[in-house]
Amino acid sequence: MNAILALEDGRCFEGSSFGTTSTTTGEICFNTSMTGYQEVITDPSYRGQIVAMTYPQIGNYGINPQDAESNGPHIRALVIGELCAVPSNWRASQPLATYLAAHGIPGIEGIDTRALTKHLRSRGAMRACVSTQLTRDAAIAAANASPSMAGMDYVKEVSTHTDYSWNDESRRWVLPNPSTGHTGPYDDLPPVRHRIVAYDFGIKFNILRRLRQAGFEVNVVSATTPATAVLAHNPDGIFLSNGPGDPAALDYIHRELRQLIGKKPIFGICLGNQLLAHAFGGTTFKLKFGHRGGNQPVKDLRTGRIAITSQNHGFAVDPDSLPPEIDITHINLNDGTVEGICHRELPVCSVQYHPEAAPGPNDACYLFAEFAAMIEKTRF
């Protein structure tokens, strides 16, 4: 069946439908990762967005339950160059198209994703419509009638409604190695050294796995949990997760974080970084086309070390808005935007990228150990 991708500025791309046949709208963005389409599809940070993958062929290794980053897909639609209908992977349980159809997610293939990406880089991220039902003009009109990402609170849609302790499988899968005596297929987990509370603004499963691998016992709470309830757990530290939408629209979270700063060590990633900036009195702004993919170079200004990182965000911290007691610790080497901040005196740090990086790269995994060291050093 034919399908159309219509952008709010009138540019249209025609292709073939896969997944479900329907009409949907959202902000369109592109992801430059060569692998990890399943993790992208199930990342809650993509709530409200139509995702275009720049890698030319998608679906090669199918879908399996173990690689999901949440309980289901969060994207509005998937835009690709070519669909691999028959996956080749012993871990796959179903093809990509079958998975999307089962969850009511439309896909469009056979379009020029290179031209689309160049257009978005030039014009910026914009609203779009994917449809198997509408005419060209109707699809453009639907795109223009859809809400902007600016000002949107999608966190309440993706955050947990029930607090829980993370007890799922968190061991790292490794190949057996008789020479070292490791019979596999998993590494052993370290003992629990620290108890933390993790705010779920759209938390990914691999963040929880990485925290457990670093020796944390993790209690997950909803985004609307008041500071008093978090402190009632008497945790060793507090973690602020990734998530979707506009950080400036989440003033109810800013207020609670202000009450937590200085009470316990805090570490945040992605949306957590932006929310901390707001809690400190800073502001954020919308990037032209965002940072999404597994190949973003970031420099640690404290050490000079450069890491290739996984990112997924459309907003950034305004460096000029930060108070003097906040240091910028990391910057993006592509555009110089803020990638990390830290309080000069209090144990509060955050980064804009995803150090857990499922499916990779793993350059920044050391940050979980730094969080543990920060807790050990302060011990409130």
Per-position DSSP letters for 296-361, written without gaps between them? EEEEETTT--EEEEEEEEEEEE-GGGS-TTEEEEEEETTT--EEEEEESSSSEEEESSBSS-SS--
The values of phi and psi at residue 124, to 5°, are: 100, 160
Measure the CA–CA gap between 242 and 157, rounded to whole angstroms. Answer: 14
Sequence length of the chain is 380
Residue 182 gets which letter from DSSP?
B
Predicted local confidence at residue 141, as pLDDT: 98
- The ranges of the chain with pLDDT < 50 are none
* Per annotation, catalytic residue among 27, 69, 339, 356: 356
Predicted local confidence at residue 130, as pLDDT: 98
Q: Which two tokens stand for residue 61?
A: 């290794």
What single-letter amino acid sits at 353?
Y
Q: What is the pTM of this model?
A: 0.95
Domains located in the chain, CATH noted? 2-145 (3.50.30.20), 155-378 (3.40.50.880)
Cβ density class 199-215: b for 16+ within 10 Å, e for less: bbbbbbbbbbbbbbbbb
SS3 content of the chain, % helix, strand, coil (to 5): 25, 35, 40
pLDDT, tens digit, for every residue of 318-369? 999 999 999 999 999 999 999 999 999 999 999 999 999 888 888 999 999 9
Measure the CA–CA gap between 108 and 259, rounded to whole angstroms. Answer: 46
Predicted local confidence at residue 167, as pLDDT: 87
Contact 354, 242 (CB under 8 A): yes
Contact 285, 248 (CB under 8 A): no
β strands within the chain, DSSP E: 2-7, 12-19, 23-31, 49-53, 57-58, 77-79, 82-83, 106-109, 126-131, 164-165, 194-200, 216-222, 237-240, 266-269, 284-300, 306-317, 326-332, 338-343, 348-351
- CA dihedral defined by 235, 237, 238, 241, rounded to 10 degrees? -130
* Per annotation, catalytic residue among 29, 129, 270, 342: 270
Measure the CA–CA gap between 40 and 50, rounded to whole angstroms. Answer: 11
- The DSSP secondary structure of 239-250, one letter per residue, reads EE----S-GGG-
Measure the CA–CA gap between 315 and 291, rounded to whole angstroms. Answer: 9
Predicted local confidence at residue 26, as pLDDT: 98
Measure the CA–CA gap between 88 and 93, rounded to whole angstroms. Answer: 11
Predicted local confidence at residue 189, as pLDDT: 84
With H, G, I as helix, E, B as strand and everything else as coil, classify residue 260: helix
Q: For the chain, what is the total number of helices (H) and then of strands (E)? A: 10, 19
For CA atoms 202, 257, 239, 332, the dihedral sign is positive
The yes-or-no answer on residue 356 being catalytic is: yes
Going from the C-alpha of 331 to that of each of 15, 84, 200, 273, 319, the distances in angstroms are 38, 37, 25, 13, 10
Going from the C-alpha of 142 to that of each of 210, 334, 343, the distances in angstroms are 41, 34, 44
**Cβ-count burial of 165 within 10 angstroms (0-12 exposed, 13-18 middle, 19+ buried)?**
exposed
